[in-house]
Amino acid sequence: MIRARIIGTGSYVPDRVLTNREIEKKVDTSDSWIVERTGIKERRIAADTQAASDLAYEAALSALKKARLKAKDLDLIIVATVTGDMPFPSTACLLQAKLGAKNAAAFDLGAACSGFIYGLHVASGMIRSGMHQRVLVVGAEVLSRFTDWQDRSTCILFGDGAGAVILEPTREKHGIWSTHIYSDGNLADLIMLPGGGSHAACSRETILKKLHHIKMKGNETFRVAVRTLEELAEDTLAKNDLDPAKLSLLIPHQANLRIIQATAKRLGLPMDKVFLNIQKYGNTSAASVPIALDEAVAEDRIKGGDYVLLEAFGGGLTWASALIRW
Ligand code: ACO
């Protein structure tokens, strides 16, 4: 049986750190409220000269280096993003050019915060079917450009960054055991960026109405996220016939510490088996899971043979999970 296996991970976050204390000066909020309600202490903000493909490029280079591959070895590039450089060409094509990955096909995938795991699902299927051999999957976001810095309920949450993995086929037991993707478009209005597309193309009116900023019904989203992610985690383990006690590490989407704690509690998982970096980066949407995965690898939190569960939830609504035998 052929599976997809991760052979390299990489990540990149911009240098600029934006602390809660700095946000206190922009809107009516406090460091203690933000930490207590979300777990976030600071986030990274891209430089004016950096677009999503620039962040993706740094993460991809790092993943290629660890996989000991050259860009020309890639035959597919998938970039998960909702804050790409421009509507077209795709950020994946811009990344392909920057990398010099001339033998790859490249496309973007939009599933908001679940985008990276959606990308793993597609890449894993391509590899299992034999259609592609060496696939780069990147999650890259510059959410700070679409954040309403006057809206205290959202501007505290988001940050910029990118994470990447490289996959290849394996006949071993190690690799991606299963991926699961879901969506519910009936709940599209819970998180959206309404302007800029064909629904509300950029105009003076859309700018005045702030349609080019992220809108979120936070509390409703929170309640759906807790319920959905708890069920998703349990269901993914059950589908793999794996007892939660055997799980070595849960790498959740870093949107809110309380959501993550609820999932861990439902699985009976101690928090030392949950990877957290939300305090440093906030919610980086599609970049969140691959940045966390790369940091978990770098910190030696994952060893050969470990079972690792990835899960995410975001706009769409979308949600997704992956079970990996490392
Ligand atoms: N500082 C101080 N007070 C605030 C702030 C703030 N930054 N933001 C909101 N408040 C106030 C509200 O105005 C409200 O006040 P009121 O009671 O006087 O009306 C009160 O705090 C409670 O507001 P809630 O929205 O109910 O607060 P909640 O506990 O739900 O926390 C949060 C808000 C952090 C946004 C939370 O709902 C959340 O994390 N939601 C889920 C986010 C998520 O998972 N998103 C999915 C992925 S995002 C993507 O796909 C791009």
230-263: buried (b, 16+ CB within 10 Å) or exposed (e) per residue? bebbeebbeeeebebeebbbbbbbbbbbebbbbb
What pLDDT does 275 receive?
Answer: 98
CB of 193 sitting under 6 A from ligand 1:
no
CB of 225 sitting under 6 A from ligand 1:
yes
Catalytic residue among 121, 132, 213, 253: 253
CA distances from 242 to 103, 118, 152, 233 (A): 38, 22, 41, 11
What pLDDT does 175 receive?
Answer: 97
Q: Which atom of ligand 1 is nearest to the CA of 218?
A: 37
Q: Which atom of ligand 1 is nearest to the CA of 23?
A: 7
CA distance 268 to 246: 11
What pLDDT does 180 receive?
Answer: 98
CB of 156 sitting under 6 A from ligand 1:
yes
Which residues of the chain register pLDDT less than 50? none
CB of 316 sitting under 6 A from ligand 1:
no
CA distance 214 to 155: 9
**The CATH number of the domain covering residues in 3-172:** 3.40.47.10
Active-site residue, 253 included: yes
Cα–ligand 1 centroid distance for 67 (angstroms): 40
Residue positions counted in the chain: 326
Q: Which atom of ligand 1 is nearest to the CA of 315?
A: 50
Catalytic residue among 93, 113, 155, 213: 113
Cα–ligand 1 centroid distance for 308 (angstroms): 30
Cα–ligand 1 centroid distance for 153 (angstroms): 5
CB of 62 sitting under 6 A from ligand 1:
no
Q: Which neighbouring-strand residues pair with 175?
A: 325
**Residue range(s) occupied by CATH 3.40.47.10 in the chain:** 3-172, 177-325
CB of 20 sitting under 6 A from ligand 1:
no
What pLDDT does 298 receive?
Answer: 98
What pLDDT does 324 receive?
Answer: 98
- Minimal-distance CA residue to ligand 1 atom 41: 222
Active-site residue, 103 included: no
Active-site residue, 93 included: no
- Minimal-distance CA residue to ligand 1 atom 32: 218
Cα–ligand 1 centroid distance for 221 (angstroms): 9
- Minimal-distance CA residue to ligand 1 atom 39: 256
Residue whose entry in the numeric block shows the structure tokens 């999650």: 139
Please, which contacts does 239-243 make with residues 24 or more away whose CB atoms are closer than 8 Å? 239/178, 239/180, 239/323, 240/177, 240/178, 240/323, 242/307, 242/323
Give the class (CATH, top level) of 177-325: alpha beta
User: What is the DSSP pairing of strand 175-183 with strand 16-19?
Assistant: unpaired
Collapsed DSSP state (helix, strand, coil) of residue 19: strand
CB of 83 sitting under 6 A from ligand 1:
no
User: What is the DSSP pairing of strand 249-252 with strand 307-314?
Assistant: parallel
